[in-house]
Amino acid sequence: MSPTDCQLLDPMADAVHAVGALLRALDLPSEPPRDRDEFLLRFSAVDELALALMRELLGPLRPGAVWAEELNTRLPEQGEVWVADAVDGAVQLLQGLPHWCVSLTLVRERRAVAAVLHSPLLGETCTAAFGGGARRDGRLMRPSGKRTLDAALLGTSQPPGIAREPEAVQGAGRSLSALLPHVGAVRNLGATSWQIADTAAGRMDGFWQYGIDDTNLIGPALIAAEAGLSVTDLAGRPWRAGADGFLAAPQPLHPLILDTILD
């Protein structure tokens, strides 16, 4: 009998923990990459090693599931897909910064059904299965209770391919200019997935982003929704793969953020 989506979370967590331990043990150069070519070379070496381990551990769990690459991948309409980002926040990792994590999501018919994020440096793991709630290290995640923007800490980021989306670049600039005078602070704290998880856990008060970024957002969107956040595109519709914008925030703050962005 195949495991349920909730039952998949433990072996998924085991896999991301193993990958996290592998990444922490790597002897990376102390100096950051000097140019894009060197960055891509280092990233490929790290990513291929980590993904190989993840595939080895998870392959038998869902033999019929295919694997999606982290960048520039359109999720298929049918079937199951493992969306794995073994080094979510690779820029930070290779720069010697701590804001990165391991991300793994099982997607079925373009909807996330199980998601696990693991921060090896923090030693924390966030999990969610559709309809089963969201947890950090086994405890239910609860979003912020703030009700006004003036004390809110918001996060934002950009998808890897935003240079190919000029409207998203413009939207990111407009929205930042609109929000900055009204909120407590705006930060980009590294990996998109972990910022959304921090919003689900109440450490941040909202996260928004312009641009299409399905594989980075689909798992964290499940965690956010299961924690009780409102998760929409930037027109206020429920977020779905293919959307060109994303907003996750507690219900009292969500319409305030959206209205400020769209004003």
Q: What is the mean pLDDT of each run of 10 residues along the chain (263 residues)?
A: 86 97 92 92 92 93 82 72 92 92 95 97 97 97 97 95 92 97 96 97 98 94 98 97 96 97 91
Note the pLDDT of residue 71. Answer: 40
Note the pLDDT of residue 109. Answer: 92
Note the pLDDT of residue 70. Answer: 43
Note the pLDDT of residue 77. Answer: 81
Region for residue 115 given its phi and psi (left: phi exceeds 0; alpha: psi -120 to 50; beta: otherwise): beta
Note the pLDDT of residue 22. Answer: 96
Angstrom distance (rounded) from CA 258 to CA 101: 28
Note the pLDDT of residue 1. Answer: 56
Angstrom distance (rounded) from CA 118 to CA 191: 11
CB atoms within 10 A of CB 146: 18
Note the pLDDT of residue 161. Answer: 81
Where helices occur in the chain by DSSP H, the ranges are 5-25, 36-58, 90-95, 166-179, 192-200, 214-227, 254-262
